Amino acid sequence: MPKPLTVEINRPEKVANEVSQPTLIEAKNVSVFYAHHEAIKKVSLTIPKNNVVAFIGPSGCGKSTFLRSINRLNDLIPGCRVAGELLIGGQDIYAPGIDLVALRRQVGLIFQKPNPFPRSIYDNIAFGPRLQGVSNRSELDGIVEDCLRKSAIWDEVKDRLNKPATGLSGGQQQRLCIARGLATKPSVLLMDEPCSALDPIATSKIEDLMEELKQIVTLVIVTHNMQQAARVSDWTAFFYMGNLIEFDRTGTMFTAPKQKQTEDYITGRFG
């Protein structure tokens, strides 16, 4: 039988600039290999609970690879393997017997391009709870409304819940996908460039939403947009050629980076 994943918060630990916060995710010398290519090279970092953490770096630096390793989506790629320890709530998610279905309920992933199911708005949100055994209509109604409210889209869709989700705008679809991700009550939401396909108005709504969502989940985002990272994140990790160059408070990273490579990237000298 697969071992169920239980997510609990560790004792407070000191992170990067000596600020003590409860730890949720901890990577210890994590490497990711595609066959013989080492895409991530012994990365260690600690992600505190209920924060927004941004991964930045040039294309091909490994930030999306590392993001996907947090819910083991890389397992689907032939020849991919992970070394080191990656802990959520103190439990190594690469330990033998981990229940991947349970893991992915706890660690949701929002993709770059909105991907609503070809179903109604209601059924998109109810899909996960139904898989978990929720069948009572009033309970499902409550979950759907709660998740749509938390994703700041309830007022826009409350009168069309039985309409196809594919009829929504791109920005609305992305917020719907976030609501769908919240329906399984995750501890972490991973976002891989969630605004890159959206216009500035939709992007602003998603960014405002991140500030609200971190009250209930930990958010880890990949972004190429330096201004976005500066606006929405509490912590920033800079990746380059598979290495974690620097990880610190976002305010510190963008005003007084410790590494010359970080400064050069943030100021546009390369990347």
Decide: pTM greater than 0.75: yes
Q: Which CATH number characterizes residue 193's domain?
A: 3.40.50.300
What is the domain range of residue 86?
12-116+186-266
Look at residue 165 and tell me if it is in a domain.
no
Look at residue 140 and tell me if it is in a domain.
no
State the total domains in the chain.
1
Closest CA to 42 of 239, 188, 190: 239
Look at residue 138 and tell me if it is in a domain.
no
Which parts of the chain have pLDDT scores under 50? Answer: 1-19
d(CA 93, CA 86): 6
Model confidence pLDDT, tens digit, residues 37-84: 999 999 999 999 999 999 999 999 999 999 999 999 999 999 999 999
d(CA 20, CA 15): 6
Model confidence pLDDT, tens digit, residues 26-37: 999 999 999 999
Average pLDDT of the residues of the chain:
90
Look at residue 147 and tell me if it is in a domain.
no
Model confidence pLDDT, tens digit, residues 14-26: 334 444 678 899 9
Look at residue 65 and tell me if it is in a domain.
yes
- Output DSSP code: residue 46: E
d(CA 222, CA 190): 8
Closest CA to 37 of 57, 73, 56, 62: 62
3-state SS class at 95: coil
Look at residue 178 and tell me if it is in a domain.
no
Look at residue 271 and tell me if it is in a domain.
no
Distances in Å between the Cα of 19 and the Cα atoms of 12, 206, 239, 247, 248 are: 10, 28, 22, 13, 10
